[in-house]
Amino acid sequence: LEMRAKALAGDSLDKLQHILPNAVLVESKDSAKTVLKDSKELAKGDIIHIREGEMLPCDGIMLMQGNIDTRSLSGESEPVAKNIGDEVLSGSIALDSFRYEVAKTYADSTMSNIIKLLEESLESKPQIQNLANTLSKHFSRVVLFIALCGFLFWWHYAGAQEALIIAISVVVISCPCALALATPIASVVGISRGFRQGVLFKKAKFLETLARCEVVLFDKTGTLTKGKLEVKKELELDFFRLFDKHRKKDFSGVSSGLEKSDFAKILLADFLSHFTHPISVAIKDFIKKSSAINKHILPQNLTLKEAKQTKERGIYGIYECANGEVLTILGGSLEYLQQQGINTDEAQKIALDFPQMSVFACAIKSTTQKTLNTPTNATQKITLDSPKVHLLFFLQDSLKPSAKELITSLKQAGKKILIISGDRQCVVKSIATTLGIKDYHSELLPNDKLEIIRAKKNAVMIGDGLNDILALQSAEVGIAMGGGYCVAIAQSDVVVLDSSLEGVGRAFEIAKSTYSRIKQNLIISLVYNALLIPLALCGFIIPLIAALSMSLSSLLVVANSMRK
């Protein structure tokens, strides 16, 4: 049974060790052909040709578009689309044939590191095992001393034969092996169970520490929330003097068949498609999801001449129309638009009602060029509309699924919950209120988080960002979300591979049940010895029954560790 328990845990490791391909096709230096190369000999910069169904041996950068299956790493059941320049991790399975460039060697890649961590964790020992080892260390001496005392007592009162039988019974019925098995078997089973459920404990001792923790601290962005801004509200303001006044006949076709606001959104969506900032992407996706907008494309008589991002939290672009009219589109914070001469008074008042959200404002200015009848034929720019904010988008990060359930379960388990975040006070307060968390800290720098962690005892830190590294390292247990930064994962003690809060909940549940079984095993062993050694010493148990009882105690401990 003991070997079976260890074998079940080792199966996960064996599968991992043989899951990565031994050799792959690598592009030769002249790119004329591919050669077969040992995966362990791959170097940075090598270009690998992966065929459909093959597993990626190393982390790298996509050179083509393709889809991958990441279930072995994150548990994500849906295929993940990757574009040129996207990062891919070893252990992923290719759903299409594609090429990618090696960014990390075989030994340094994600799956290799997971295998190393799992090997180390299976060999490590929790702190509670020190107690068991200390007890076991002196156990045999105590039992032999008790047996010797019993032998001398019964020799005096019942003769040497009876004394020898009782002494043998005392030695045989005692079971130090049950005491010694109490912790390691339960730990191995817990670590193996954790990995199968997407939770990697780097050392066995973190099972115990996590189970005994008193305070749980959460980072907000990417941990409690998705870390991705989404448009929650859209407002249209002052539409659109541009279309009501001063409209030239040859330009009217631009908005043909469209509402004025629809045209502005189409123009904005086209403009935002030239930027990769998360807010730009979120608003572009939001606009394109609108069925009314999705039917139309930007008119051909409009041409984008310039699109730039500024240092003042804003973007601007210039579109030219065939009739010479120029549209200048401005987007960004209200402060940026105000600096560009846009009237933001109305928008500022509206924004006060949504302090917990990020604001993206858009304004479109229309100008035309008129040739003056002068000797030099000079041109004059005429502004056709009053520059005001036309579109307002309010964005907010969304809570991850199961966030409320996790917080509720941790509270029921008697844990104290805190949020420590670098985000604005109003944003953090909104999240804390939604989750029913009374204690929260906002606008923190990494050193601020570190000071809060140091002031807490038996604290667990859960985070994923670069600003969480010091806190993760300093906490009793640092839990990193697998989708976070590699440095944060490296400094943590437990990794939730699928980055879900359900995974965090599983980590706590596995730690609690494993620690509970270790304590149960110790109690079984101690109670067994405390009850049966005195019975054997009094002569009520013969050596045969003692031998059966001793085996039974070990079976009980192992079976308790293995039960589901």
Q: pLDDT digits over 314-338, tens only?
A: 888 998 887 777 888 999 888 888 8
Q: Are 319 and 329 in contact (CB under 8 A)?
A: yes
275 band by pLDDT with thresholds 50, 70 and 90: confident
Give residue for tokens 């944003």.
427
164 band by pLDDT with thresholds 50, 70 and 90: very high
* Side-chain half-sphere CA neighbours of 196 within 13 A: 14
* pLDDT of the residue at 254: 43
Residues 6+ apart with CB under 8 A from 176: 136, 139, 140, 143
516, pLDDT greater than 80: yes
292, pLDDT greater than 90: no
Q: pLDDT digits over 332-384, tens only?
A: 888 888 888 888 888 899 988 888 888 899 988 877 655 444 454 444 444 44
* DSSP SS3 for 423: coil
* pLDDT of the residue at 117: 65
400, pLDDT greater than 70: yes
Please list the residues that pair with 218 across neighbouring strands.
Answer: 419, 462
430, pLDDT greater than 70: yes
319: nearest Cα among 298, 307, 335, 304: 304
Q: Are 456 and 476 in contact (CB under 8 A)?
A: no
User: Which residues in 314-446 belong to E strands, given as ranges?
Assistant: 314-321, 326-332, 358-371, 379-383, 391-399, 416-420, 439-441
Q: What is the mean pLDDT of residues 229-242?
A: 73
* DSSP SS3 for 298: coil
100, pLDDT greater than 50: yes
Q: What percent of the chain has pLDDT over 70?
A: 79
Using CA atoms, how far apart are residues 536 and 137, in angstroms rounded to an integer? 22
* DSSP SS3 for 105: coil
Using CA atoms, how far apart are residues 112 and 105, in angstroms rounded to an integer? 10
* pLDDT of the residue at 9: 53
Give residue for tokens 């604290």.
459
* pLDDT of the residue at 384: 44
Structure tokens at 419: 């949020």
Residues 6+ apart with CB under 8 A from 335: 312, 313
Structure tokens at 449: 């988080």
62 band by pLDDT with thresholds 50, 70 and 90: very high
* pLDDT of the residue at 129: 59
489, pLDDT greater than 80: no
* DSSP SS3 for 79: coil
Give residue for tokens 């059941």.
77
Residues 6+ apart with CB under 8 A from 540: none
Of residues 374 and 52, more confidently modeled: 52
Q: pLDDT digits over 5-51, tens only?
A: 556 555 555 555 556 788 888 988 766 688 888 888 899 989 999 88
- Lowest-confidence segment of 171-180, 240-249, 467-476, 494-503 by average pLDDT: 240-249
Using CA atoms, how far apart are residues 526 and 109, in angstroms rounded to an integer? 45
- CA 66, distance to chain mean position in Å, is 23
* pLDDT of the residue at 257: 44
75 band by pLDDT with thresholds 50, 70 and 90: very low
> CA–CA distance from 257 to each of 253, 289, 304 (Å)?
9, 19, 22
DSSP class of residue 254 equals G
Average pLDDT over the chain, rounded to an integer: 79
126 band by pLDDT with thresholds 50, 70 and 90: low
216 band by pLDDT with thresholds 50, 70 and 90: very high
